[in-house]
Amino acid sequence: MTNEKQNKLFGKTQQEISQKLKVAEETKKLMPTWNKTENKQFVGKYVKTKDVTVDGDNRQLAEFVTDTGDSMGVWLNSVLQNCFKDLDVKQDNVIAIEYLGEVKSKSNPKWKYDNYTCVVL
């Protein structure tokens, strides 16, 4: 057994695990973010989208205000970016987002992505 195989936990190396934990910690410093696995739906008033570099990766974080007045972030994958573009989302629009689960890519069944639907209320 190679060192790499010995050091893997659930298919992830210690370095990969540490990296994900670091990203999670950095994210907490920005603002709380929507946890799609705990709550499949999110509703909030859109404020703006920030370009954020997390561990050398450029990502987009949409900032919302919830009905309780709290700031909440939503990480935008390509599905949500396209949804926002198609809906022409603007500041102060109230947006509902629903997490539909993980889907296999049609172009490459080995790839998976998180699928969503969203509407302007």
Q: Please, what are the domains in the chain?
A: 1-30 (no CATH), 32-120 (2.40.50.360)
- Enter the pTM of the model: 0.74
Higher pLDDT, 73 or 21: 73
DSSP calls for 30-59: H--B--TTT-SEEEEEEEEEEEEEETTEEE
Task: Judge whether 79 and 115 are in contact, CB under 8 Å.
Answer: yes
Checking if the pLDDT of 4 tops 50, the result is: no
Token readout for 83 is: 């949804």
Residue 98, pLDDT > 70, answer yes
Which pLDDT tens digit goes with each residue over 14-48?
Answer: 877 777 677 666 656 668 999 999 999 999 999 99
- Contact between 117 and 98 under an 8 Å Cβ cutoff? The reply is yes
At 2 the pLDDT is 47
